[in-house]
Structure 1
């Protein structure tokens, strides 16, 4: 089960990274500052989880879990900025694309930060499963 969770986490990181690249490189959506921070957290996980899966190294949890939890916090705040108008006063993006902007708004609630949040939650859940099963 831990190796399967490792594979699922790796696939999630790949899909999240390719999705972000699709939005910026194909659809030409310019990432805001917070989107860049989320990418900084997600992109290395593709490499780290890939190497860990290849070697079936479940000890990668100690390196991935802090990144994914930080990603959850950042994505949650970014999503809240988009969906709670009162938070726009606390927006951190001072130049360029506003962090409260929404390139997509599928079904009235699915935005890019929510997609990133989902990826970070899945990876975190996989890491917790691996940690519990490896003890």
Structure 2
């Protein structure tokens, strides 16, 4: 495995770890109760910390396909969640999400950065990195 791929794996793990710590900070320190869609995003992000950490330690670049699948699914959920927060026509048809409405915005930095937006950025970074690794592996063959 090349140093480039190794660095990309480390970057992916760092992104997943930062996203996980961030979500735990919002819920455990700030006391923001996650809605149902937030839980689905967490279900897809949290395992990536372990999966990518082990892959980095083992120098296993083949994990890129798994991380790509997790990040695409998580990114789709995040994009949908963000859209029901920010697009009025989506808010009208938003599903009820239990005790905490999915349309709620605990944070709204600069008028557009919400928690689902942060998760979406993390999933996009991991997806792009996974694609870069898969392309590098293909070129090596």
Instruction: Determine if the alignment matches structure 1 residue 96 to structure 2 residue 99.
Output: yes
Instruction: Determine if the alignment matches structure 1 residue 112 to structure 2 residue 118.
Output: no
**2:65 match:** 62
Contact 1:31 1:97 in 2 (8 A): yes
Unaligned runs of 5+ in 1: none
Shift of 1:89: 2.8
1-structure distance, mates of 2:97, 2:118: 23
Unaligned runs of 5+ in 2: none
**2:10 match:** 7
4+ residue stretches of structure 1 with deviation over 3 A?
none
Higher relative contact order (CA 8 A, sep 6+): 1
Q: TM-score, length-normalised on structure 1?
A: 0.97
Shift of 1:2: 1.0
Larger Rg: 2
Count how many residue pairs are aligned between Structure 1 and Structure 2: 135
Instruction: Determine if the alignment matches structure 1 residue 86 to structure 2 residue 93.
Output: no
Aligned alpha-carbon RMSD (Å): 0.8
Q: TM-score, length-normalised on structure 2?
A: 0.93
